[in-house]
């Protein structure tokens, strides 16, 4: 059981700044997901933790001790790569034994450890095969098995499931969750799949362009995204954004005129009225699952839009709408089944309590809720 702290980590390759002032804490046994778009620095950060890459500045603290100058081998962490990195000329058993033989582990102990890991990962009958004789999911299990037998202080995963098809991903996801519950070893798990992060992690760190945008539990990020980037990144389908202007303020919050609707739509939101002056341009955010199909037009907090497409999935579905006077589209998630078709108009209620209001700049913080509201 180990703890990890990163303090003010900077990383530059030449003049290129790849990571900037990264702080991160992983408690004992915690499952931490690092998410963010391609190129934001996830793999670089994981390689810095593992010891494969030096930092430009900042401290890496493992179990309370600074390990910046400790070699990768001596840090006692195990990394699982997207590419599996198995030795093609070795059997599954040899692939798993290789690292242990190098450190002089007695043969009987190697056999016992591989036996335990193979049972846990259902690799028992595959131990004499070579990687080319395995499916993608089986190879990924071998790569995980090789990490397990080393009994690491922490597991470091770099997009371990991204080479697998959708069904296998879901299955391996469940297996890694079960493995974490059983071993109780901390995991730092890199993914750009926010669904993976939401379903697996105790804590999610959202990175963008080498900086931490927000850290929190999956539901903290979903319920209270600190800025528009996090709001758009967490949640699937992604949050709808609608341009708006502040037209009135009072003790109950802000009145917003929403752009793109015909007739003109307004909505009252419980946002601290001190946060935005009259006439300020803002971005209203509302998740597809929070929009409601309403009965009649003209009721408060409703908008009328034309349906571009309806996706019926049986148990639930999606309505894609186009806004008449803007290029933006709006996605609505509904429960059950609906009769509406493409080309028809639909009235949607935007529940004020489910609204997020952001500054128009993507990285700027969300406007604070009215005190006592939300
Ligand atoms: N050795 C290197 N020299 C120069 N630039 C590098 C080097 N390694 C990575 N980079 C740059 O650092 C940035 C972050 O790369 P990194 O591999 O950490 O991203 P990532 O978040 O893992 O992306 P992906 O999701 O595509 O795997 C990228 O812009 C990349 O081009
Ligand atoms: Mg990467």
Q: What does the pLDDT read at residue 345?
A: 92
* Residue predicted with more confidence, 102 or 45: 45
Tell me the CA distances in angstroms from 109 to 37, 50, 99, 150, 242, one per residue in order: 42, 25, 13, 11, 61
- Position 261 confidence tier, pLDDT thresholds 50, 70, 90: confident
Q: What does the pLDDT read at residue 104?
A: 87
**Residue in 41, 83, 161, 197 to alter for ligand 1 test, most ligand atoms within 8 A of Cβ:** 41
Q: What does the pLDDT read at residue 363?
A: 67
Residue 362 above 70 pLDDT? no
Instruction: Give the tens place of pLDDT for each residue, 266-285.
Output: 999 988 888 888 999 999 99
What is the C-alpha end-to-end distance of the chain, expressed in Å? 38
Section 296-325 average pLDDT: 90
Q: Is 228 in the pocket of ligand 1 (CB under 6 A)?
A: no
Section 77-83 average pLDDT: 88
Q: Is 87 in the pocket of ligand 1 (CB under 6 A)?
A: no
* Residue predicted with more confidence, 296 or 159: 159
Q: What does the pLDDT read at residue 373?
A: 43
Task: Compute, in angstroms, the gap from residue 162 CA to the centroid of ligand 2.
Answer: 11
Is the distance from CB of 4 to CB of 154 less than 8 angstroms? yes
Q: Is 54 in the pocket of ligand 1 (CB under 6 A)?
A: no
Residue 20 above 90 pLDDT? yes
Instruction: Give the tens place of pLDDT for each residue, 51-76.
Output: 999 999 999 999 999 999 999 989 99
**Residue in 12, 16, 206, 213 to alter for ligand 1 test, most ligand atoms within 8 A of Cβ:** 16
Q: Is 40 in the pocket of ligand 1 (CB under 6 A)?
A: yes
Helix, strand, coil percentages (3-state) for the chain, rounded to 5, are 30, 35, 40
- Location of structure tokens 């070579």: 130
Q: Is 192 in the pocket of ligand 1 (CB under 6 A)?
A: yes
Residue nearest to atom 12 of ligand 1 (CA): 18
Section 98-112 average pLDDT: 91
- Position 298 confidence tier, pLDDT thresholds 50, 70, 90: confident
The chain-wide mean pLDDT, for the chain, equals 92
Q: Give the closest residue to 281 by CA, choosing from 241, 251, 331.
A: 241
Q: What does the pLDDT read at residue 201?
A: 97
Q: Residue 41: exposed, middle, or buried by beta-carbon count in 10 A (0-12, 13-18, 19+)? A: buried
Which residues have their alpha-adjacent CB atom under 5 A from ion ligand 2?
43
Q: Is 15 in the pocket of ligand 1 (CB under 6 A)?
A: no
Residue 82 above 90 pLDDT? no
Q: What does the pLDDT read at residue 360?
A: 81
- Position 374 confidence tier, pLDDT thresholds 50, 70, 90: very low
Task: Compute, in angstroms, the gap from residue 35 CA to the centroid of ligand 2.
Answer: 10
* Structural domains in the chain, sorted by start: 4-233 (3.40.50.300), 240-359 (2.40.50.140)
Residue nearest to atom 1 of ligand 1 (CA): 13
Residue 34 above 70 pLDDT? yes
Task: Compute, in angstroms, the gap from residue 274 CA to the centroid of ligand 1.
Answer: 41
User: What is the full DSSP assignment across 255-313?
Assistant: EEEETT-SS-EEEEE-B-GGGS-TT-EEEEEE-GGG-EE-SSTTSTTEEEEEEEEEEE-
**Cα distance between residue 221 and residue 41, in whole Å:** 20
Residue 244 above 50 pLDDT? yes
Beta strands in 113-270 (DSSP E): 154-158, 186-191, 203-208, 211-216, 240-250, 253-258, 265-269
**Cα distance between residue 244 and residue 357, in whole Å:** 9
User: pTM of the entire structure?
Assistant: 0.91
Tell me the CA distances in angstroms from 358 to 90, 258, 342, one per residue in order: 54, 13, 31
**Residue in 9, 15, 16, 18 to alter for ligand 1 test, most ligand atoms within 8 A of Cβ:** 18
Task: Compute, in angstroms, the gap from residue 65 CA to the centroid of ligand 1.
Answer: 27
Residue 348 above 70 pLDDT? yes
């Amino acid at each position: 059981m180990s703890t990890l702290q990163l303090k003010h980590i900077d990383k530059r390759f030449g003049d290129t700044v790849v990571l900037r002032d990264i702080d991160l804490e992983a408690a004992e046994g915690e499952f931490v997901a690092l998410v963010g778009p391609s190129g934001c620095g996830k793999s670089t950060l994981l390689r810095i933790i593992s010891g494969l890459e030096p930092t430009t500045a900042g401290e890496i603290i493992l179990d309370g001790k600074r390990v910046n100058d400790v070699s990768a081998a001596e840090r006692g962490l195990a990394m699982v790569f997207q590419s599996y990195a198995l030795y093609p000329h070795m059997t599954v058993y040899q692939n798993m034994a290789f690292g242990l033989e190098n450190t002089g582990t007695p043969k009987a102990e190697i056999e016992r450890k591989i036996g335990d890991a193979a049972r846990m990962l259902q690799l028992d009958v595959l131990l004499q095969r070579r990687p080319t004789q395995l499916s993608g999911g089986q190879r990924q299990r071998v790569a995980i098995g090789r990490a397990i037998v080393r009994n690491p202080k922490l597991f470091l995963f770099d997009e371990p499931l991204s080479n697998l098809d959708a069904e296998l991903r879901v299955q391996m996801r469940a297996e890694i969750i079960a493995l974490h519950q059983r071993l109780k070893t901390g995991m730092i798990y890199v993914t750009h799949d926010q669904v993976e992060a939401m379903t697996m992690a105790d804590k999610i760190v959202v990175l963008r362009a080498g900086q931490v945008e927000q850290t929190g539990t999956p539901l903290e990020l979903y319920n209270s995204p600190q800025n528009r980037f996090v709001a758009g990144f967490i949640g699937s389908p992604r949050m709808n954004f609608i341009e708006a202007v502040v037209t009135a303020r009072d003790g109950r919050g802000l009145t917003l005129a929403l752009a793109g609707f015909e007739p003109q739509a307004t909505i009252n939101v419980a946002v601290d009225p001190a946060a935005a002056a009259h006439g300020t341009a803002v971005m209203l955010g509302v998740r597809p699952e929070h929009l409601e199909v309403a009965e009649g037009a003209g009721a408060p907090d409703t908008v009328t839009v034309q349906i571009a497409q309806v996706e019926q999935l049986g148990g639930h579905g999606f309505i894609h709408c186009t806004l008449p006077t803007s290029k933006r589209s709006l996605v609505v998630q509904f429960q059950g089944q609906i009769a509406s078709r493409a080309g028809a108009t639909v009235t949607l209620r935007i529940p004020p309590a489910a609204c997020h209001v952001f500054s128009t700049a993507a990285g700027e913080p969300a406007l604070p809720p009215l005190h006592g509201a939300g």
